[in-house]
Amino acid sequence: GAGVSQTPSNKVTEKGKYVELRCDPISGHTALYWYRQSLGQGPEFLIYFQGTGAADDSGLPNDRFFAVRPEGSVSTLKIQRTERGDSAVYLCASSAGTAANYGYTFGSGTRLTVV
Amino acid sequence: AQRVTQPEKLLSVFKGAPVELKCNYSYSGSPELFWYVQYSRQRLQLLLRHISRESIKGFTADLNKGETSFHLKKPFAQEEDSAMYYCALSGHLSGTYKYIFGTGTRLKVLA
């Protein structure tokens, strides 16, 4: 696609429920990143994919969070047993190469609200 | 520890005045520094990278390794520069080129 697409743009869910957030990166971009942005903060790294594999998942806060990218394109961030503290904007970004050389292209984010 | 500090949450300047958005970093290796901007109701987008030494929309930023700073500057602010600005650091951190972002500075350019 022309840009990084994230769906849904907004998600309201009840505490304890399961949610899936989708990211469709720019076609051909091998690197895909998930970030989380809480109110008043900068984006915080969650996980990085190079192709199909999670090359770095050190930013996932706990085992309720999981992400996949089975075919090396679309990625899904999955959150189990949601908590109110999970409320944030979840950002996806893709890059043709290393961030140092190319920078990221960000999606518009999914605003998750856990009530 | 790797860290990016943007000490100002809000910076207000009058149109035509010079602007400097401060960014300091802590990194043990050789960092790559970036500025990202988010205009109202738009997505986060790359403004400039230190390795390209470019000027975008009149903004420049110089990496000062001695002072570990990467301040963003523009000689004459325009109203359309009003936005949220994030400084970001990248490097081969734990084997991946992930970013560490600062908390951001909101720039308001007053008419």
For position A14, which CATH number holds?
2.60.40.10
CA A102 to chain centre: 19
* Residue corresponding to tokens 């720019």: A26
Q: For residue B50, what pLDDT is reported?
A: 84
Q: Of all residues in chain B, what percent carry a pLDDT higher than 70?
A: 95
* pLDDT one-digit tens code per residue, B60-89: 998 998 999 999 999 999 999 999 999 999
A24 within domain boundaries: yes
> What are the boundaries of each domain within chain B?
3-110
A60 within domain boundaries: yes
Which residue does chain A place closest to B47, by CA atoms? A103
Among the partner residues A33, A42, A108, nearest to B102 by beta-carbon distance: A42
Q: Is the CB of residue B74 less than 8 Å from the CB of residue B61?
A: no
A110 within domain boundaries: no
Chain A residues 18-57 with a CB less than 8 Å from chain B:
31, 33, 35, 40-45, 48, 55-56
Angle at A41 between CA B5 and CA B14, to 5 degrees: 70
With CB atoms and an 8 Å threshold, state whether B99 touches A40: no
At B2, is the pLDDT very low, low, confident or very high (cuts 50, 70, 90)?
Answer: confident
Give me the domain span that covers residue A22: 5-98
How many domains in chain A?
A: 1
With CB atoms and an 8 Å threshold, state whether B32 touches A41: no
Q: For residue A17, what pLDDT is reported?
A: 98
A84 within domain boundaries: yes
Least confident of A59-68, B19-28, B90-99: B90-99
Task: State the Cα–Cα distance between residues A47 and A85, nearest whole angstrom.
Answer: 18
Q: Is the CB of residue A51 less than 8 Å from the CB of residue A94?
A: no
Give the right CATH number for B3-110 from 1.10.10.10, 2.40.340.10, 2.60.40.10, 3.10.580.10.
2.60.40.10
Q: For residue A101, what pLDDT is reported?
A: 65
A112 within domain boundaries: no
